[in-house]
Amino acid sequence: MTKLKMFAVIAALFLPLAVAGCSHPQPVVYAPPPPGLSAAAQQGYYDGSLAARNDIRKGLAPDVQRHPKFRNPPGPPPAFEEYRHGFRAGYEQTFRSGPGPGY
């Protein structure tokens, strides 16, 4: 009976290790911004895509307004609207198509 108890204890200790999956890094696919965007809009698209991937990873609902870079874009004020346009486009595209493998 003691061998059975010892086996049960050992099995209970190692069961989580046996059930756990492997976590091999997966490449993340990044969709390039649509052609014809300005440099500020391209940077916004990339930043928006990153923000969406982070939100998806954290299980958050889509909300572009929660991100500080959307509310206060980097760069000169004349480019704010172009950056926000690109940020929103990248954010929404990533949520529509998914973050890609690895997330």
User: Which tens digits make up the pLDDT trace of 6-22?
Assistant: 777 776 666 666 666 55
In a domain, 3, yes or no: no
List per-residue pLDDT tens for the chain, 103 residues long. 687 777 777 766 666 666 665 555 555 556 677 888 899 999 999 999 999 999 988 989 999 999 999 999 998 999 999 999 999 999 999 888 865 555 4
Say if 60 falls within a structural domain: yes
Parent domain of 48: 33-103
Question: Does residue 17 lie within any of the structural domains?
Answer: no
Does residue 26 fall inside a structural domain?
no
Q: If we measure between CA atoms, which residue out of 57, 34, 36 comes closest to residue 46?
A: 34
52 falls within a domain: yes
Model confidence pTM above 0.75: no
5 lies in some domain: no
**Total domains, the chain:** 1
